[in-house]
Structure 1
């Protein structure tokens, strides 16, 4: 059938518009097309559109040539529900549980644990050193849960009237730098930005006095409703490449201290 001049012109106009869509549909890393990302507010991982989760997801999408059509923050539970229903493609900073593995592909990219924060002047080199001090004052946030071993210790300290209760993270860290308590437990994602914002990095040391304590893995989450196993594995392998080539470390270093980055990347992704 011969094309009229109008149809020829129409084809000429539409072709440049359709080519990107064809290319996107044919990208095995994003078979459903442009991506919708579901974030939730979590320390320096994500807050008001910024954080290392944002930088990480955008870099992975760039490397895999997958366009992003929307980036939205939700309450934590709603972000997971968006992923479960296939209304979002990717989430981040997600803990691995059997229930979540039912509807998500989960790939860890950092491992965090509660560290013991001490004033720089403290000479304690172990947990036993700390506990031998008769004047010990340990700070903890009301209602906060740590590892089982840490919670047992705090319960014992409370019985000995050596536990001081804080109402919030801000309250806890202020008590430490002002000398109202001698030691606290906290995750780098929480204490790093606080001490940096208050120019107090040089006032404390972070020590791992619970080497066998619970480690939490932060994972990138891909919706099984949106990604086939093969497509998800492309993201997994690219994440591992970013670990090996230093790009993941560089992203985390924008938001965390060198010591904290060493800690969260201490466990290899391999």
Structure 2
């Protein structure tokens, strides 16, 4: 009889252990996307495919997924209304409430209206016609954020709600310059609204690339659970499936500019 109860108890403990090791939140994944390039558009994009593939591999159900403004996604993750986010730049503040695992690195370029003749940073700071569009809540490289601070002190910064708003302001010449990533602006530069109107410059040649990471809320994932997601991200880099997802939505040139990290 003791042996029988020992077997039953051992089985129960094994089941509990297996349940505790699950990488999935008990109430399912609650995912927040935001509009950025080909990451998300009308329910499709490389971030959507990434989340769905990770959920499939890890055996997690998706209970909720929707698109919100960038700053709202961060706040909802911080306060437990969402538990998973994508394409997030790791910062010390964000790491206080979420695990963040980069899956690509990319570099901001300068989109400059052709009506502006300036070609150096000092000239851009001094040019009266420069109005710099910045997406609310967005983080650039340290050098670029410092440059934006200088622009702001001169009253040259205009806030955009999201990427679509930023490009609309560029096409309407409400702003005359902005930072943007190649994977974001490629399709927009070929659109009728912007074709032939914008010059692409790299005035921060030594600037570091910016990480885009998967964000897992501390209040929904333990470190052990989060590390299982990180391991699966690394596997997707190694087996080529992550590059394949990007290639479905981006041009070969844009994919080549992305640095995928295992």
TM-score by length of 1: 0.64
Seen in structure 2, the aligned counterparts of structure 1 residues 138 and 252 have a Cα distance that, compared at 3 Å, is farther
- In 2, are the aligned partners of 1:138 and 1:184 still within 8 Å (CA)? no
- In 1, are the aligned partners of 2:134 and 2:178 still within 8 Å (CA)? no
Matches within 5 A, 1:37-186: 37-115=31-109, 141=133, 147=144, 168-170=166-168, 172=170, 186=180
Q: How much does 1:209 deviate? A: 5.1
Partner Cα distance (1:254, 1:115) in 2: 23
Partner Cα distance (2:178, 2:188) in 1: 14
Seen in structure 2, the aligned counterparts of structure 1 residues 172 and 221 have a Cα distance that, compared at 3 Å, is same
Aligned length: 232
Partner Cα distance (2:179, 2:53) in 1: 32
- Find the structure with the greater CA-based Rg: 1
Q: How much does 1:237 deviate? A: 0.8
Partner Cα distance (1:101, 1:184) in 2: 27
Partner Cα distance (1:244, 1:72) in 2: 29
1:4 maps to none
Does 2:261 align with 1:269? yes
Higher mean displacement: 219-228 or 202-211: 202-211
Seen in structure 2, the aligned counterparts of structure 1 residues 246 and 213 have a Cα distance that, compared at 3 Å, is same
What CA RMSD, in Å, does the superposition of the two structures yield over aligned residues?
Answer: 4.4
2:233 maps to 239
Structure 2: gaps (5+ residues): 1-15, 113-118, 124-128, 161-165
1:32 maps to 26
Deviations 1:96-140 (A, max 9, x none): 11111111000111222222569xxxxxxxx78xx9xxxxx9895
